[in-house]
Amino acid sequence: MTTVHKAAISSVADDPRWARIVGRDKTADGHLWYSVSTTGVYCRPSCPSRTANPRNVQLHDSIESARATGFRPCQRCNPEGPSLEYENANLVAKACRLIEESEGEPSLEELADRVGRSPSYFHRVFKAVTGLTPKNYAAAHRAEKVRQGLASGNTVTEAIYDAGFNSSGRFYEKSTGMLGMTPSQYRAGGANEEIRFAVGQTSLGAILVASSRKGVVSILLGDDPDKLVHDLQDRFPKARLVGANRDYDALVARVVGFVEKPGVGLDLPLDVRGTAFQQRVWQALREIPVGETISYAEIARRIGSPHAMRAVAGACAANKLAVAIPCHRVIRNDGALSGYAWGVERKRALIDREAPGPESSDHA
């Protein structure tokens, strides 16, 4: 009897399917089930319950096989129905539609009541799925409606009220942060906004630094200086681009110096333009110390959205402020380098020269 029992333990613990259960692999849901003799339940692989001892577990390739044990379905993971993750995704999708179709900004309590959840649970689930709070999602949606209204030729006043603002005063309080410029400038495609820029050279190739009146708005790296200028023109198609003077060259020199020797630090006024979620990610990136790297999953956890790893990666890819917002310090969970807007080789070089030790400064 003892020999048979040990073999049973080994067959479950060594089965590759068991690793998916230990890892709570959501992709295995609907393809694999397991039953636990000590609790008398059967579960889906992603069940959040404490991991069972493999000596008490039986694996099943079909829901019928799990039912045949005579055990009951787990109430936590509901193996007979849709997963909790699926239900939460539908719940959030419904809430998003309610926000988008509402003339005003519905309160947290109103939204939670409409989807049949408590405000605290709904708030937590919404943020985990979207990476934003319901309030920030509503603000981002209204900002997008304003952008669409201004781009379609509506007057500023029409765009304001069509987006659900009940007074122009409340809109103008937030307009510059929302659009990155005044509403009139945005409607004109950035016309009359002055962007100063200069191109320099680093050991990693060409660098372009550009600033608005508020602060540095772009730091671009590449092989071709002309292409960097074209990229800047594409980003600000109607702005007035002005070649910088000698004073501005000093600022470019500071950026170049930081690229070459990260230990000198870089403290510049920035004009950061992005969505609420992107700005949360970029702020988290700026808090990563020189010489350290971090995973996309950890960034997602730090901003309070642990399931938003893809959205975090998208925010890193959208960053237009190389080195000032150090997205090069974000790596994959397995430690491998992932994509980088300015080339993986530049990412590797930046990480290497930021690494602690005398060898990190020897890159000439």
Q: Does the annotation count 327 as an active-site position?
A: yes
Query: Tell me, what's the pLDDT at 29?
Result: 85
Give the active site residue among 47, 96, 316, 327: 327
Q: Which residues pair with 58 in a beta bridge?
A: 35
DSSP category for residue 245: -
Query: Tell me, what's the pLDDT at 4?
Result: 41
Query: Tell me, what's the pLDDT at 349?
Result: 92
Burial of 5 (0-12, 13-18, 19+ CB in 10 A): exposed
Query: Tell me, what's the pLDDT at 136?
Result: 80
**Per-residue pLDDT tens digits for 296-324:** 989 988 887 787 888 888 889 989 999 99
Q: Does the annotation count 74 as an active-site position?
A: no
**Per-residue pLDDT tens digits for 133-175:** 888 888 777 766 666 655 555 555 555 555 555 545 555 555 5
Query: Tell me, what's the pLDDT at 181?
Result: 52
Query: Tell me, what's the pLDDT at 30?
Result: 83
Query: Tell me, what's the pLDDT at 362?
Result: 46
Nearest to 118 by CA among 130, 127, 107, 109: 109
- Which amino acid is located at 191 in the chain? A
167 and 105 Cβ atoms separated by less than 8 Å:
no
Query: Tell me, what's the pLDDT at 2?
Result: 38
Query: Tell me, what's the pLDDT at 356?
Result: 74
In the chain, which stretches have pLDDT less than 70? 1-10, 83, 143-192, 264, 357-364
Give the active site residue among 43, 74, 77, 316: 43
337 and 349 Cβ atoms separated by less than 8 Å:
no
Give the CA distances from residue 339 to residues 16, 56, 336, in Å, rounded to whole numbers and listed in that order.
30, 43, 10
